[in-house]
Structure 1
Amino acid sequence: MLLAASAPPLFTELAILLVAGTLIAFVSSRLGVVPIVGFLAAGTVIGPSGVGLISDIDLVNQSADIGVMLLLFTLGIEFSLERVRRLASLFLIGGTVQVGLTTGIVAGVVAAFGVEWRTAVFTGLLVSLSSTAIVLKVLAERRATTSPVGNVSVALLIFQDLAIVAMVLAVPLLGGQITGPADVLIAFAKAAGIVVAVIVVARTLVPAVLQYVSRIQSGEVFLLTVLAICFGTAYATSLLDVSISLGAFLAGLMVSESRVAARALGEVMPLQILFSATFFVSIGMLLDVGYLARNLPLVVGLALAVVVVKMLTTTAAALLVRQPRAVALSGALVLAQIGEFSFVLERAGEEVGLVPAGLADGTDAFIAVTVLLMAFSPFGARWGQSLAARSDADRRARQRAHPHDGDAPQFDPSEHETLVDHAVVNGFGPRARRIVSALELAHIPYTIVSLDPEAQRWAASTGRRVLVGDVSRHVIAERAGLRDARIALAVDSPPSAVEQFARIAREHNPDIAVLAWAADPADAADLERDGLVDHVVAERQAAHDALIAHALGHFELPEPDTEAVTHAVLHTELGPDSTADDGIDDGDDAYRHEDDGADPGKSRT
C-alpha cells in the first residue's frame, strides 16, 4: 500500500520549488548575488511563464503567506519596542516624509495622465514601500546594520512596516468599500486598540510565559510556544479584520521584550528561511516573461522612474533629520526598490477593484517592475555602502585634521555591538564565571552564550549580559561573533557538548582557538585527538588558574599581568557557587552546573 500511495498535491509543488530554488540560489550565491535574487529567478524559471513545472500557484501562495507571516514575526523580534523607541525621531519624521513624499509624487504623476485620484493614491502607496527582507539581508552580510546607513535604512523600514497597517485600512476606503467617517474611525480604533494591547501584553505576560517555558529546558516545548504566540496573535488580529502579517509582526514585538528573544529568533529562523524562500519563489512565479519581453522598454522606464522618485524622497527625508549627505544618498540607494509588502497591499487592492496606475495590465506591469528592482537592489545597496565607506574615511580624516569639528549627530547603535578579536564563552557555569571575571580585569571583550535560565539570572544579578540561545543556530553564532572571535571557551560542558561546540566554532571561524575543560584525562585526549579543541585542561580539581592562564595567553597578556589577574580572581568571591573547588567532584557530577552543548532539546540535570 505504501508503494501505491500518491503524494499530496502540495508536496509535489513544494518538492519542485525547493529543489529548483536551492539549485538556482546556489548558483546565484556562487556568482556573488544574494540568494533572494536566486529565488526570484527560480520562480520565473519554474513558473507558468517559464518551463511550467508548477501550474497550481494557489497552493504555493498559501505557503508563501506563511513565509510573509514568519518574516514579519522575526523582524518584530529583531526590532523590539526598545529599538523602535530609540529610533523614534528618525523613523517618525524621516519615515513620514519619505512615505508621504513618495506617495504624493507618484499619485500626482499618475493623476496627470487622467487616472482617477483613488487609484493614483493607491499606486503611490505601493511604490512608497521598500523591501525589508532584501535590505536587512544585504546590510547583515556587509555587517552594516548598525552603521549610519544601516540606522537610516532600518528606521525608515520600521516606519514603512508599521505604516502598512494604515495602508491596509485605507485600501477599502480608496476602493469605495467604506463610505462613512464612522467606518474609518472604527477601523483606526481597532488598530490603536490592537497596538495598545500588544504593548501591555509584551511588557507583562509574554516575557513571563517564555521565561517559565525556558526553565523546562525542552527545545520542542519552547519552539512550539514561540510558534503558538506567532500564529495565535496573527489569528486573533485576523478576527478583527487586520492582516495576519501585521499580527505576526506585533507578536514578534511581544517576544522581543523577553530575555530569551535571541533564542526564540534562532529557533524560528530555519522555518522563516524555508517559507520566505517559498515567498520569493512565488513572487518570481508571478512574473509574466512574455509580458516583460513585449514591454521591456516600458518596464525599464517605469523601474528607472521608481528609482529616481525613491532616491529623491529618501534623500530628502534623511537630510531633513540632519544626516550627512553621503549617508542620505547611500540610504537612498539601499532603499530604491519596491518591497514585498507591496504585494500584500496590491492583493488587498485587487479585492476592492484597485489596479496599479489604472492600467488594464497594471498588475503585470507592477509585478515586472517590482521583480526587476528586487533583482538589482543588492547591487544598489553595494554601491551605497561603498559610497558611505568612502565618506566615512573622509570624515575620519577631517576629524584627525580638525578634532573639534564633526558631522551631524548620529543615532545610537544597535544593542548588538559588533566585536572583533574577542572571546566567546559558551555557558556560564562556575569555571566560565572565573574566566569572565579575568577577561574583565584584563579589559578583553567577550560574549556569553547560554541556555541555562539559572545562569541567565545569575549573570543579570551581577550586571552582565548573556546572549540567550543555542549557539548551533546560525543567527546566535553570528550575534556572538564567532566569525571574528579569537578564542571560544566551553569549560562547563560534557565532552560530547564540547565537541559539538568546537565543530560549530570551526565552521564559522577555522582560525579560532578552542579551550575546554574535562574531568578526566581520557576525555581530554579524545577532544584533542581530532584537532577540534586546541587545549583541554584535564584535572580532577577545578584548575581555574590553568584555565585563566590559557585564556589570557591567547590575547598576548604579559605574564606578570596574567598572574596578577589570576590572583585577583581566585581570591574574590564570585557568587553562591564559588567555593574553593566550586563543588566539583569526580564523575558525571563534574558537569552538573552547565550544559550548553548546542542541543536545546536535551534536558539538563
Structure 2
Amino acid sequence: MLAAGETPEFLGPIVALLVSAGLIGALFVRIRVVPIVGFLLAGVLLGPHQLGLIADEAAVHDAADIGVMLLLFTIGAEFSVERLSRIKRFVLGGGTVQVVLTTAVVTGLFSLFGQDWRIGVFTGFLVALSSTAIVLKVIAAKGATQEPVGQAAVGTLIFQDLAIIVMVLLIPVLGGESEGGALGIARALGTAALVLTAVLVVARKVMPPLLERVARLCSPEVFLLTIVAIALGVAYVTSLAGISEALGAFLAGMVLSESRHSAHALSEIMPLQMIFSAVFFVSIGMLLDVGALADLWWLVLLAAAAVVAIKVVTAYTAVAVLRVGAPTAMGAAFLLAQIGEFSFVLQQVGSDYGLSPAGLGAEGDQLLVAVTVLLMAATPALGALGGALARRLPERAAPAPAGGDGSEPSGDTRDRVLLSGWGPVSKNLGHYLKVNDIPVTVTTLNPDLAAEAEAFGHTVVRGEASKAGVLHEVDMERVKLIVIAENSAEEATHLAHVLHGVAPGVPIVVRPTDAPDVPGLYEAEVERVVDTHRAVTEPLGRTVLDLLKIDHVDMGRPNPTAVDAFRPDPDTDCAHTETIRPVLPKSAGCTECLRQGRRDWIHLRLCTSCGFVGCCDDSPGRHADLHADRFGHPIARSVEPGETWAWCYLDAVVLASADTPAERP
C-alpha cells in the first residue's frame, strides 16, 4: 500500500508511454500514415538511449510480449483452418521458397566477402523473417486481406512463423555446439510436432463446449477473461516444449476461429490487443540508440537498401513461381520487404551462442535494430510503391488454388436488414421481413436466442452490435437498414451513436422497450422512433418496408414461428393419414418460389409431413404437387384464409378437418 500523496514509481513512465504514443500516433493518422510508425518513433524518443523517460525496460518488454501473443491470437482467430487450407500453396510453396532463397542469397553474399558461412546463415535467418504485425496492419488498412496479394503475403508470413522453430533449433549448431547433432534436432522437432498436435486436438475438443458454457452466462467480463486465459495458456504450454509463445497463441486463435463464438471473442479482446500491441511497437523503438549509430548512418542506409533489394527479389520469385501473376507477386514482395519482430528473438538466442548480425558484435545488434525500425516505419510506403508498380504490370489470370479459388465461400449477397438483439419484437419483425423475402442478420449475445434465430433461417452473428469486431463480421456494406427493438431508450441511444459512426449512411429505426427519449434518439441521428405502445409487428414492419421502399405482402400466410397441427376427420376416406404430424411451416410463402426470387403463386399448400410450403396446381410452379411426388409426402393442407381442408395426392381425396369440417371448393 502507498502512503497518502505517494506516487507509484511505475505510473509516470506508463503515463509518458501512453500519452506520447497516443499523441504521435494521432499525428501520423492525420498525415495519413499508419499509427504503428508513430509508436516506433515514440519508443525511440522515450527509450534509455534518448530521453530516458522509461527506466524499467524489462516491464515494457514483458508487456510487449503479451502484445505479440494477443496480436497473433487475434490473427489466428480471423484465419480459420478452412481459410488456411485455401492458401496452403502460399504457405508451403511460396513461404518455403522465400525463406530458403533469402537465406541462401545472404549466405552467398557473406561468403563472397570472406565471412564464415555460419555467420551468413544466421544473418540470413534474421533477414528472411518479415514483420507479421506490421504487414497485417497494412493489409487490413488497405482492405486487401481477401485479395490475392494479401493472401500471398499472409501465407508467406505464416510459413515464416513456423520456420522460427527450425531456426531456433539450428542456432546451437551454427554456434559450434554440436551436442546431439542431427539426432538432437530431429528429437526436438518431433517433440514440437507432438506438442502442437496435442494442443490442437485438446483445444478443439475442450474449447467449443467451454466457450458455449461461458457464453451462456452472458457476461462480457467473464467471457473476456476466458479468452485471454485461453490465448496465454496455450502460449505458455507450447513454450514449455521450446515452441514460440506467439505461435502457440496463433494456434489457439485458429482453433477459436472454428467456433461460432469467434466474432464475439474478437470483439471483446480487440481493445486489449490494441493497447498491448502499441506497447510492443514502442518497445521495438526503445531498442534503437541513435547516438551510437550517428557515425554509421551510411551503413544503416546501405544495409536497409540491401535488405529491401534482396527481399523484393526473393519474395517476388517465391510468389511468381506459383503462377499467380506478376502484379500479385510484385505487391506481395514489397509488403514483405522488411525485417520482422521475431528476428529479435533469434538475435537473442544467437547471442547466447556467440552469434551476432553480420558478425559485428554489439554494433551488429544496433545495426539490426536500426534497419528493422527504419524498414518497419517504411513498410506503408513500400506497400504503396509495390501497389503502384503492380498496376503497371500486365494482368494475367491466375489458376485457382487446389482447394478452390481462394475466395470466401459465397452466401446470400443480397442487401439485408440488421436486427440488434433477438426477442419477441425482433422475432415477429423477422417473420414479417421473411414474408417479404428480405434477408435478415441478427446480432445477439445469448447463445440460446442465437440458435433460435438461426432455426428461423436468419444469419446470426454472436456478440453485441456495439463491438467493432461483431460489426465487421456482419458485413455492414450490405446492410441497408438497422432496427434496434430489444433495448431501452438509453441503451438504444448509445448503440445508435456507435452504429452511425460505423455506417453513417444507413437508416436506423428504434423501438425502445421503455418510454422513448425522442430528442436524445434523434440527436443520435436515428431515422425513425416507434413508440412502444403502438409498436405491434405490423406498424413496425411497415415502417421498415417504407424506408426500404418495398411494397409489403399480406402476413395472412403460413407463420414459420407457429406449429401447424392439422387433424383430419376420423371418417375421412384416406389410407395415408398416419403421415400427418405437427409441423413448423418452412416459409411464409411458397418455399421454392421464394428461393427462385419469384412470387407468382396463386394459392398455397402446406405439407403435413415436413412443413414445406408449396404453390397449388393452378400456380405456374405447381411446387406442392412436385414436392409430394419427389419426397413421397402424400398430404398437403390449404393455408388460404378460411380454408381448413387437406388433399391426398395418392388417393385423390379431400380430407376434412376434425376441428372445423369444410368441403373443398
What is the TM-score when the length of structure 1 is the normalising length? 0.85
Alpha carbons of 1:446 and 1:365: their partners in 2 closer, same or farther (altered >3 Å)?
Answer: farther
**Alignment partner, residue 373 of structure 2:** 371
Amino acid at match of 1:572: N
Alpha carbons of 1:341 and 1:438: their partners in 2 closer, same or farther (altered >3 Å)?
Answer: farther
- Report the CA distance between 1:42 and its aligned residue: 0.5
- Report the CA distance between 1:161 and its aligned residue: 2.1
Q: Report if aligned partners of 2:497, 2:524 keep a CA contact under 8 Å in 1.
A: no
What value does the CA root-mean-square deviation take over the aligned residues? 3.0
Q: Report if aligned partners of 1:10, 1:59 keep a CA contact under 8 Å in 2.
A: no
Aligned equivalents of 1:126, 1:99: Cα separation in 2:
10
Q: Report if aligned partners of 1:13, 1:60 keep a CA contact under 8 Å in 2.
A: no
Alpha carbons of 1:526 and 1:125: their partners in 2 closer, same or farther (altered >3 Å)?
Answer: same
User: Where do 1:424-463 residues align within 5 Å?
Assistant: 424-433=418-427, 435-436=429-430, 447-461=441-455
Q: Please, which of 470, 484, 492 is the counterpart of residue 490 of structure 1?
A: 484
Aligned equivalents of 2:309, 2:522: Cα separation in 1:
60
3-state SS, counterpart of residue 32 of structure 2? coil
Q: Report if aligned partners of 1:283, 1:371 keep a CA contact under 8 Å in 2.
A: yes
Alpha carbons of 1:190 and 1:486: their partners in 2 closer, same or farther (altered >3 Å)?
Answer: same
Amino acid at match of 1:186: R
Q: Report if aligned partners of 1:449, 1:467 keep a CA contact under 8 Å in 2.
A: yes
**Alignment partner, residue 304 of structure 1:** 305
Q: Report if aligned partners of 2:484, 2:512 keep a CA contact under 8 Å in 1.
A: no
**Alignment partner, residue 567 of structure 1:** 555
3-state SS, counterpart of residue 234 of structure 1? helix
Q: Report if aligned partners of 2:320, 2:326 keep a CA contact under 8 Å in 1.
A: yes
User: Where do 1:408-423 residues align within 5 Å?
Assistant: 408-409=399-400, 411-414=405-408, 422-423=416-417
Corresponding position: 1:543 with 2:530? no
Structure with greater proportional helix content: 1
Aligned equivalents of 1:293, 1:417: Cα separation in 2:
57
String of CA shifts for 1:427-479, please: whole Å, max 9, x gaps. 23354355556666767665432211012223444565422223333333333
Aligned length: 561
**Alignment partner, residue 384 of structure 1:** 386
User: Where do 1:574-585 residues align within 5 Å?
Assistant: 574=561
- Report the CA distance between 1:575 and its aligned residue: 6.5
Amino acid at match of 1:567: M
Give 5+ residue unaligned stretches, structure 1. 396-404, 580-605
Alpha carbons of 1:515 and 1:309: their partners in 2 closer, same or farther (altered >3 Å)?
Answer: same
3-state SS, counterpart of residue 456 of structure 1? helix
Aligned equivalents of 1:219, 1:33: Cα separation in 2:
33
String of CA shifts for 1:164-217, please: whole Å, max 9, x gaps. 222233333333445223321221112101221122123211111011110011
- Report the CA distance between 1:351 and its aligned residue: 2.5
Aligned equivalents of 1:443, 1:320: Cα separation in 2:
47
- Report the CA distance between 1:38 and its aligned residue: 0.2
Aligned equivalents of 2:212, 2:118: Cα separation in 1:
48
Larger mean CA deviation between 60-69 and 321-330 belongs to 60-69
Corresponding position: 1:230 with 2:218? no
- Report the CA distance between 1:270 and its aligned residue: 1.4
**Alignment partner, residue 533 of structure 1:** 526
User: Where do 1:507-518 residues align within 5 Å?
Assistant: 507-518=501-512
Amino acid at match of 1:370: T
**Alignment partner, residue 184 of structure 1:** 185
- Report the CA distance between 1:41 and its aligned residue: 0.5
Aligned equivalents of 2:163, 2:149: Cα separation in 1:
21
Amino acid at match of 2:501: E
3-state SS, counterpart of residue 79 of structure 2? helix
Alpha carbons of 1:114 and 1:436: their partners in 2 closer, same or farther (altered >3 Å)?
Answer: farther
String of CA shifts for 1:261-320, please: whole Å, max 9, x gaps. 121112111111111111111111111112343212211111111111111111112122
- Report the CA distance between 1:90 and its aligned residue: 2.4
Q: Report if aligned partners of 1:484, 1:509 keep a CA contact under 8 Å in 2.
A: no
- Report the CA distance between 1:147 and its aligned residue: 1.3
Task: Please tell me whether Structure 1 or Structure 2 has the larger radius of gyration of its CA atoms.
Answer: 2
Aligned equivalents of 2:275, 2:525: Cα separation in 1:
31
Q: Report if aligned partners of 2:421, 2:444 keep a CA contact under 8 Å in 1.
A: yes
Aligned equivalents of 1:6, 1:355: Cα separation in 2:
44
Aligned equivalents of 2:188, 2:504: Cα separation in 1:
55
**Alignment partner, residue 108 of structure 2:** 108
- Report the CA distance between 1:541 and its aligned residue: 6.6
Aligned equivalents of 1:408, 1:30: Cα separation in 2:
40
Alpha carbons of 1:511 and 1:311: their partners in 2 closer, same or farther (altered >3 Å)?
Answer: same
- Report the CA distance between 1:346 and its aligned residue: 1.8
Aligned equivalents of 1:278, 1:233: Cα separation in 2:
22
Aligned equivalents of 1:152, 1:440: Cα separation in 2:
40
Instruction: Give the structure, 1 or 2, with the largest relative contact order (CA under 8 Å, sep 6 or more).
Output: 1
Alpha carbons of 1:304 and 1:433: their partners in 2 closer, same or farther (altered >3 Å)?
Answer: farther
**Alignment partner, residue 31 of structure 2:** 31
Alpha carbons of 1:292 and 1:463: their partners in 2 closer, same or farther (altered >3 Å)?
Answer: farther
3-state SS, counterpart of residue 198 of structure 1? helix
Aligned equivalents of 2:418, 2:244: Cα separation in 1:
40
Corresponding position: 1:20 with 2:20? yes
String of CA shifts for 1:51-108, please: whole Å, max 9, x gaps. 2222332232122122122222222212222222222222111111111111111122
Alpha carbons of 1:72 and 1:109: their partners in 2 closer, same or farther (altered >3 Å)?
Answer: same
**Alignment partner, residue 266 of structure 1:** 267
Q: Please, which of 447, 451, 472 is the counterpart of residue 466 of structure 2?
A: 472
Amino acid at match of 1:553: D
Q: Report if aligned partners of 1:527, 1:533 keep a CA contact under 8 Å in 2.
A: no
Aligned equivalents of 1:463, 1:113: Cα separation in 2:
68
Q: Report if aligned partners of 1:152, 1:331 keep a CA contact under 8 Å in 2.
A: yes
Aligned equivalents of 2:352, 2:66: Cα separation in 1:
20
Aligned equivalents of 1:422, 1:164: Cα separation in 2:
44
User: Where do 1:25-174 residues align within 5 Å?
Assistant: 25-174=25-174
User: Where do 1:247-396 residues align within 5 Å?
Assistant: 247-360=248-361, 361-387=363-389
Q: Report if aligned partners of 2:417, 2:441 keep a CA contact under 8 Å in 1.
A: yes
- Report the CA distance between 1:383 and its aligned residue: 3.0
- Report the CA distance between 1:37 and its aligned residue: 0.2
Larger mean CA deviation between 420-429 and 234-243 belongs to 420-429
Alpha carbons of 1:46 and 1:421: their partners in 2 closer, same or farther (altered >3 Å)?
Answer: farther
**Alignment partner, residue 202 of structure 1:** 203
Amino acid at match of 1:365: L
3-state SS, counterpart of residue 567 of structure 1? coil
Alpha carbons of 1:349 and 1:66: their partners in 2 closer, same or farther (altered >3 Å)?
Answer: same
Corresponding position: 1:505 with 2:499? yes
Aligned equivalents of 1:389, 1:65: Cα separation in 2:
38
- Report the CA distance between 1:421 and its aligned residue: 6.5
Amino acid at match of 1:81: V
Alpha carbons of 1:6 and 1:414: their partners in 2 closer, same or farther (altered >3 Å)?
Answer: farther
3-state SS, counterpart of residue 243 of structure 2? coil
Amino acid at match of 2:146: T
Larger mean CA deviation between 363-372 and 8-17 belongs to 8-17
Q: Report if aligned partners of 2:131, 2:338 keep a CA contact under 8 Å in 1.
A: yes
Give 5+ residue unaligned stretches, structure 2. 565-583, 586-665
Aligned equivalents of 2:78, 2:562: Cα separation in 1:
32
Aligned equivalents of 1:315, 1:446: Cα separation in 2:
43
String of CA shifts for 1:224-257, please: whole Å, max 9, x gaps. 1111112222222232233322222222223222
Aligned equivalents of 1:108, 1:49: Cα separation in 2:
35
Alpha carbons of 1:494 and 1:160: their partners in 2 closer, same or farther (altered >3 Å)?
Answer: same
- Report the CA distance between 1:326 and its aligned residue: 0.8
Q: Report if aligned partners of 1:107, 1:121 keep a CA contact under 8 Å in 2.
A: yes
Alpha carbons of 1:262 and 1:353: their partners in 2 closer, same or farther (altered >3 Å)?
Answer: farther
